Structure 1
Amino acid sequence: MKNVRENIIKLLSDLIKIYSPYFEEDEIMEFTYNWLKERKIPVKYHKYSEDKVTKFQGTNVVGNIKGQEGGLKILLNGHLDTVTISQGWTKDPLKPTIEGDRLFGLGALDMKGGSAAIMIALEAFVRNVKDFKGEIVYTLVSDEEGPYGLGTDATILDGLTENIDFSIVAEPSSGFADIEFPCLCLGARGGYNYKVNLYGKSSHAAAPEFGIDAILDGAKLICELGKVELKQDPQLGKGSLVVIETSGGGAACSVAEKASFTVFRHVVRGEDKEFLIKEVKEAAKKANIKSEYTIEFRDVPHDGVDGFKPYTVDEENPFTKELQETIKKVTGTYGTIAYFSSMGDFNYLGTRTDAPVFIFGPYGKNYHSPDEWVSIDSLVKTSQVIYDLLVKLLKV
């Protein structure tokens, strides 16, 4: 791979200049499609629509690079959307700025950088490797940062990921884990969003003993949930439970007859929706609340995206070893093994494709925050690792 540093800086800079928060990705998808087409990389638009909840009509950019029959089918995945611009930037978030090894800009780390690394690796592969076996599938998707990960979900629903042998998601594993590059994540915690609705009984505030205070019961239940001993996973560690919203009230000068609170619950293996329902019920008993209550999981487009399920990949998996050897060849050291603390498209791929999913990408800081930056050197090496692995596994 020649001129990788210059090419990846130019491509990433062009991507950063295009503002593409989730649900607003049309311009960046057009740019990406044209960039790939100009370099004679097989490419097409993948259109999808979600008609139940968001009413969103989205676009992914995808492609299949096919060699001879009989080889591996490898998926490369990245997302081109970002969060919206947060307050506090000291630099223009849409004007790429380089200071030493750091390239600043919205999405530089999460994850236009990783997507650029994939694109540069694909360009080099198509240019340099004419005789190979197997197939490369790449999906550069929209709406990863949105509520349901609709872009990658659509690629799974529409069969683009069928029969893959493994995936690489070029999210910034090193940056997210805050571990010196290289870092290889072999799985991730999952997560669910649910709401507890409490129904008490109104009475005059001067005589609260005749009522049932839904807000007070909600507070008791929240406190009891905070005492829950969370399950320990040998790889993923423990989950987490955070109350992200509360509400409640009733008539003026009255005991609150209604209350609710919303929880985001990161989970590890063995913790699913039924487990969380049981967890709330046990906490409600210990809290000795008098209010009736219901547990309401968020409305979803379909059952496959009712939550993000946790997953892991075995360190002894043969593809883990192949990837680690390639990382060592490029960087001089094996990747530090870690596990993603939050969730993303890799959870869908890791639990719905029956194939290992590796999270491998660059170092940097301030994702979803002001002055986001990516390490250029780690980004170049990420691209080199992807390219070298493809050549190693597919070249005849």
Structure 2
Amino acid sequence: METRFDPKNVIELLSELVSIYSPYFREEEIMKYIFNWFKSRSIPAELHSYSVHKILKYDGTNVVGRLKGNRPGPVILLNGHADTVEKTLDWSTDPLKAHSRNGRLYGLGALDMKAGVAAIMAAIEAFHNNHKEFAGEVIYTIVSDEEGPYGLGTDAVILDGLADDADCAIVTEPSSGFTGEGFPVLCLGARGGYNYTVYLKGKASHAANPEKGINAISEASKLIVELEKSELIEDDKLGKGDIAVISIEGGGAACSVAELASFTVFRHVVRGETKEYLIKEVHEAAERAGIRAEIKVVFRDSPHSLNDGFMPYVIDENDHYATILQNSIEEVTGRKAAIDYFSSIGDFNYLGTRLKIPTFVFGPSGDNFHSSDEYVEIDSVVKTSEVIYNFLEKMLVANNITILIQR
């Protein structure tokens, strides 16, 4: 049996998604569009509402759906986020009007990650149309607030048990775009990350007699320099973490030595670098620097204990699902996927560590994410969607159906 999977549909859908401004915490319009897109095609979908009243007082919405087979089989989770960062300055084109040039599609969120969302939606539509009988299930979660501080959309999916039965997950973040490698790239894990603040309490004195006090700002500066020299764990897959100071504050009364100071760190971590490890790392740096001020390490507050940070994870290269996904990538693209590991954090961390299932990051290539003139390579978007479709067929359909790709 021969069916048609038109790549133009994927790009038209992506252009529509780009035209809807959806910075995190303001995703209502795009979620309604995605929900209506599924419903207009008679594809199962629900608006999943959630609320966060601690810290943020935010009411969010995801779109969640399931295609259920007629016999037992694997449960495959597809995940993508529809929110973006805010518009940045210096775009050469309108960031909300998709613009194609030289095989690239430009627009806000085109790469990160509306291309991945469009790829999931198109693959689901094709699978729904072509396969009425199959094994297992497909869960698709198009979420809000991935770009925000806590990944609240996917966090809510997990808290509400909507993906409890998933056996593996594919997150269509732009793996090629983020790693800087040519498409296709399959990420088998990711570093994690924590945000913490170091508070220093010195001793005030008159600025004419600074030797009588302990300047908390000076102490913070010395501690930062020494902290950045810390010996980091080197993971055989994830490499090393990073220590990035992202803010510093301090001060006191006029003409006085500063009694208080603080600085905030975003710390990317690898396996073995726990919260306790990071606290110890700060205190060891303070000892090396001869810090006299009192210090306290405080991790950022969070809506609940399970989303206070992002834990790292790694998938075995010989994992059953990894092997099949690599086969799908090679069949569709004609190339073996480069194996890599995501250097930053995202919803995949929650899925990989909290659901404890193999969670793959696979998506298109492009550049300038979180910046002006963001773009995605058009062919890589189409192929990402084709790979997802191919993988679903391999996993859930007994007798594979050939797809004719219109070129």
Q: Structure 2 matches for 1:1-396, cutoff 5 A? A: 2-396=4-398
Percent of paired sites with the same residue? 60
Cα shift at 1:272: 1.1
C-alpha separation between the residues in 1 aligned to 2:360 and 2:348?
8
2-side partners of 1:301 and 1:234: how far apart? 33
Rounded Cα–Cα distance in structure 1 between residues aligned with 2:228 and 2:11: 45
Which TM-score applies when normalising by structure 1?
A: 0.99
Partners of 1:5 and 1:376 within 8 A in 2: no
Paired with 1:120 and 1:14, the residues of 2 have a C-alpha distance of 13
Partner-residue secondary structure (3-state), 1:109: helix
AA aligned to 2:75 is: K
Q: Distance in 2 between matches of 1:253 and 1:307?
A: 39
AA in 2 matched with 1:253 = C
CA distance in 1, matches of 2:75, 2:324: 15
CA contact (8 A) 1:181 1:378 kept: yes
Instruction: State the Cα deviation string for residues 102-156 of structure 1 (Å, max 9, x = none).
Output: 0000000000000000000000000001110100001000000000000000000
CA offsets, 1:214-244, max 9 Å, x none?
A: 1111111101101111110000000000111
CA distance in 2, matches of 1:2, 1:26: 32
Do the aligned partners of 2:205 and 2:213 also contact (CA within 8 Å) in 1?
Answer: yes
Secondary structure of 1:86's aligned partner: coil
Q: So what's the TM-score if we normalise by structure 2? A: 0.96
- Report Cα offsets for 1:334-353 as digits up to 9, x if no partner: 11001100000000001001
* Matched letter for residue 371 of structure 1: D
Cα RMSD over matched residues? Answer: 0.8
Report the Cα offset of residue 3 of structure 1.
Answer: 4.9
The aligned amino acid for 1:156 is: I
Unaligned stretches of 5+ residues in structure 2: 399-407
| Corresponding letter in the other structure for 2:142 | L
After TM superposition, give the deviation of residue 4 of structure 1 in Å.
Answer: 2.5
Number of corresponding residues: 396
| Deviation (angstroms), 1:91 | 0.8
